[in-house]
Amino acid sequence: MKSILALEDGRIFHGTGFGAASDRPPGVTIECSGEVVFNTSLTGYQEIFTDPSYAGQIVVLTNPEIGNYGTTALDDESARPYIEGLIVREFSRVRSNWRADSTTDNYLKRAKVPVLAEIDTRALVRHLRDRGVMRGVMASSTAEFDAHQVAELVAKARAIPKMDGTDLARVVSTKASYVWDGGGAPPDPTREAVQAARVAALAAHGGKVLIPGKPLRFHVVAYDFGIKRNILRMLHESGCRVTVVPAETSAEDTLALKPDGVFLSNGPGDPEPCTYAVEAIRGLLGRVPVFGICLGHQLMGLAFGGRTFKLKFGHHGGNHPVKRLATGRVEITAHNHNFAVDPASLPADVELTHVDLNDGCCEGMRHRSLPAFSVQYHPEAAPGPHDSHYLFEEFVKLMEGR
């Protein structure tokens, strides 16, 4: 299939359709629309696909070949892919990895995610870097696109609601509370089979099965604004029994669960419309230790009395250097965010703890007197690979101190 990306500024990219865009009837089919962002990670494409923080976005991957190691259910960060569409230079239709249970093409086809390949992704990324992220439409056709069709697609791109002012956290959040038991999130009937396959595969290749070695000493309530499974694993392996609650859960309902600590998750969209979450966080500060990541960090910044703003093209990748101000140590970190906390807007009782060495962005903060801290990046994504795992230990120490 012939596929096309039409950006709101009129820039057009032509390529070939895969995934959900590989088999369509004659005529033009609009595959997806959303904000177009780029990610510079070299690996981990399946984790990117299934990160709920990408809801509403078409993702361009800068690594030239994507899909070559296939996919496995064990690497999903959520129940399904959340990206609107995928754009790559070269898309592999074969898999070459002992862990794979599907080709990437079939995986995305089942999830109804379209792929645009065989375009100059370097030119597209430079365009987004120079002009900022913008809205776009992906479409496919059995014939060449004519000028009228292209103009219509550009008009549709301009009509897409902007990410600014859009609350997506409540859209991707769980609808009901559940206790995470170390399996899927939320639990599903195939979990036992997946775990058994994981144990068997690791044992067959001489690997060790990771079993949490710490007793579950603390009860953590985790707000699901688009939570990733590896965050839940990290909390679990740090000795926490985790209850996941919907994004709109009030402070009173959370405290009624008698938590030792509260975790604020990552998620998509603009933090400022999430007034319900900001209100809940303000009701929790000082009453229980609070730890936030990504969107949770931005929401905590708003709860502290600060402001947030939208970055020109966001931070999306697994290679961002972040300096920990207390030690001067530099961590290699994973990022996925379009918004950031304005450090100049934070009150005097909140201190900056981490900064991005690429652009000076606020990457971490801590309240000087209350047990509350947060980071903008993803310590659970492990690009370092263990540079940032101490943050979960610090959360546990706060709960021990209480």
Sign of the Cα torsion 326, 287, 237, 268 reads negative
Query: How far apart, in whole angstroms, are the C-alpha atoms of residue 331 and residue 356?
Result: 10
Catalytic residue among 337, 354, 367, 378: 378
Structure tokens, 81: 């892919």
144 carries an active-site annotation: no
| Surface-to-core class of residue 26, CB atoms within 10 Å of its CB (0-12 exposed, 13-18 middle, 19+ buried) | exposed
Token readout for 313 is: 């093209």
Angstrom distance (rounded) from CA 3 to CA 351: 48
**CA 246 distance to own-chain centroid:** 17
For 188: left if phi > 0, alpha if psi spans -120 to 50, otherwise beta; the answer is beta
Strand order of the sheet with strand 178-180?
178-180, 240-246, 218-224, 261-264, 290-293, 372-375, 362-367, 350-356, 307-324, 330-342
Closest CA to 268 of 289, 242, 287, 294: 294
Cα separation, 87 vs 114, whole angstroms:
9
The enclosing H or E element of 36 equals strand 29-39
Residues 6 or more apart whose CB falls under 8 angstroms from that of 327 comprise: none
Distance of CA 138 to the CA centre of its chain: 21
Catalytic residue among 240, 274, 294, 362: 294
Rg of the chain, C-alpha, whole Å: 21
Structure tokens at 113: 């995610």
Q: Single out the catalytic residue among 31, 272, 363, 380.
A: 380
**Active-site residue, 378 included:** yes
9 with 95: CB under 8 angstroms?
no
Q: Which tokens is 169 given? A: 């956290």
380 given a catalytic annotation: yes
Residue of 47, 39, 49 whose CA lies nearest to 19: 49
- Known catalytic residues are 294, 378, 380
